[in-house]
Structure 1
């Protein structure tokens, strides 16, 4: 028995001695393993000589499945490739980093490096951007993208945003076009909108749009729309086609009119201080990666819209295509005849952009 206890004591003492060796040599204990050292050297070797590695935080309140959410990952991968590893992007979607109420301020303050910013949001700081939110401001997708991604967008619109807000819009991505979805009758002309109880978000700008469309705008929260359509509290709602599908409005409506009354877009934007920390080569990699991503985003959304019309027809909805020139003329007239709506617009720029649509 005594010999057995001695043996156990010797084993315990040996274990304590071995464990203590590491603790008494902190330098040796904290030394990375050869494999970890090799990985670190490999990562450092990937960054071009003379370039400072940069890690960007890119935030959005959009959710998985949205094309512009998928585009964040497309951009992150492409810019790392084009910068040869000197730019890495960490993506935060679904409002996981900042809420919709705080995201814009976070970008302005530099608390986040990149975010998607919309025209209505910019309009809270730069008055004339309200005109970009009006009905039929853009005639179609080509008019929108050639304006916002062309000379006017680069030399006027983006420049004004950068100079007044200290953020740099890199491009304008297409989000989709809003259509009118109805329960009782098909919309084949502007006159068919008369008296229609059209649900709108409860804000002056949205309600004015409903009125300009010739309908009787009815304020209602989004989560009440399905029930409102099914009970007859409203006759119609307007949203991009992906929303009609995801919210299952096709279950409680019979018609959808391709009105394209709002051609919606969004700017992927970077904080100016962050932008100016980059080398010229890194900035060029950012521009090329954004253009690559814009093509992905726009093409994907255009294809989705085309496929969703087929889907909605398969669900029993009748798709109509009213005369958009008639809609555009009458809706724009409603805005231009209301001095309160246009008081802060940049009318010279408005006329220039509208002329480009003809």
Structure 2
């Protein structure tokens, strides 16, 4: 080999070393793939905001994280996803505190009926010390870390059997999520409670397995429950929310800088989704009336008083002191 050829070869090797050395010297620069899962429809703000967040995290970390978002129970029903955080089958989820309450009951107090006055009260809670205390208790118990809270909507009932009072719910076959917190109102009113996986509710309503279900108006629209139910009863029994939760293994391996990025982006996404849900919720009464559904207003004091009389906080592992701290909060707006 000539002197010139040797020099050219050496130069090529040196250039290759310069190109390859950053990855070889810093394994953390390699891309990490993550799974983010939830049970909601691709059209819903919870999914579109999550997809936005996945892309934004990739951008802010210079592509070090690729997050694939799985909607519509693709990776399992909600209880499965919560278990998956510990098992390592998912890295991030969106899920309600009702499911977090299975592992750490006190955090489920927010699902005790009529705890929140409205969306602003809920969002004020998400920024409060009582939320921080409950989230820390949950993390201490499970290792799961909550980074954001999204407004999910006010839960209302749909039913093929019309009812206007709590007493008229007696014997009603109603689907509720498979989490203790959702049982309080139907149980207090004497309904027959049937937990059914979220993805199976439409069929259960259609074939008469249950007579009724309860969800926010935006979910009733997204899941098309209005196609198989005649009446919407405005019980307003829970002002609901979803948490964005990171698995213990993911949170542990994030650097302080990356923890801030994940948290900031998740909270920005939650704010986007919360605004969209609140705006659409205001429009939907008129939309459902146009579709021919009967909208029934009720005396919510009747439902609330019956729950307070018959369902002790302690029966679900909640602490009344936490509930009282939430009641004392002023709305965020």
| TM-score normalised by the chain length of structure 2 | 0.75
Aligned to 1:13: none
Query: Relative contact order (alpha carbons < 8 A, sep ≥ 6): 1 or 2 greater?
Result: 2
Alignment of 1:57-96 (within 5 A): 57-62=34-39, 63-96=41-74
Larger radius of gyration: 1
Q: 2:319 aligns with which of 332, 336, 346?
A: 346
Mind listing any 5+ residue stretches in structure 1 that lack a counterpart? 1-30, 32-36
Q: Distance in 1 between matches of 2:179 and 2:138?
A: 24
Using the TM superposition, give the Cα deviation of residue 280 of structure 1 relative to its aligned residue in structure 2, in angstroms.
Answer: 2.5
DSSP 3-state at the match of 1:171? strand
Matched, 1:311 2:287: yes
C-alpha contact 1:172 1:265 (8 A) present in aligned 2: yes
Using the TM superposition, give the Cα deviation of residue 75 of structure 1 relative to its aligned residue in structure 2, in angstroms.
Answer: 0.6
Aligned-residue Cα RMSD (Å) equals 3.7
Distance 1:73 1:332, change over 3 A: same
Q: 2:144 aligns with which of 167, 188, 194?
A: 167
Using the TM superposition, give the Cα deviation of residue 293 of structure 1 relative to its aligned residue in structure 2, in angstroms.
Answer: 0.1
DSSP 3-state at the match of 2:237? coil
Alignment of 1:126-275 (within 5 A): 126-154=104-132, 156-183=133-160, 185=162, 187=164, 190=165, 193=168, 195=170, 197=172, 199-201=174-176, 205=180, 206-212=182-188, 214=189, 216-217=191-192, 219=194, 222=201, 223-228=203-208, 234=211, 236-246=212-222, 248-251=224-227, 253-275=229-251
Q: Distance in 2 between matches of 1:277 and 1:287?
A: 14
Matched, 1:292 2:265: no
Q: Distance in 2 between matches of 1:97 and 1:297?
A: 22
Per-residue CA deviations over 1:272-302 (Å, capped at 9, x if unaligned) read 3322333322222222211210111111212
Q: Distance in 1 between matches of 2:223 and 2:45?
A: 17
DSSP 3-state at the match of 1:316? coil
Mind listing any 5+ residue stretches in structure 2 that lack a counterpart? 1-11
Distance 1:153 1:56, change over 3 A: farther
C-alpha contact 2:159 2:231 (8 A) present in aligned 1: yes
C-alpha contact 1:200 1:210 (8 A) present in aligned 2: no
Question: How many residue pairs are counted as aligned between the two chains?
Answer: 306
C-alpha contact 2:45 2:276 (8 A) present in aligned 1: yes
Per-residue CA deviations over 1:148-167 (Å, capped at 9, x if unaligned) read 3433222x022112211112
Q: Distance in 2 between matches of 1:237 and 1:105?
A: 25
| TM-score normalised by the chain length of structure 1 | 0.71
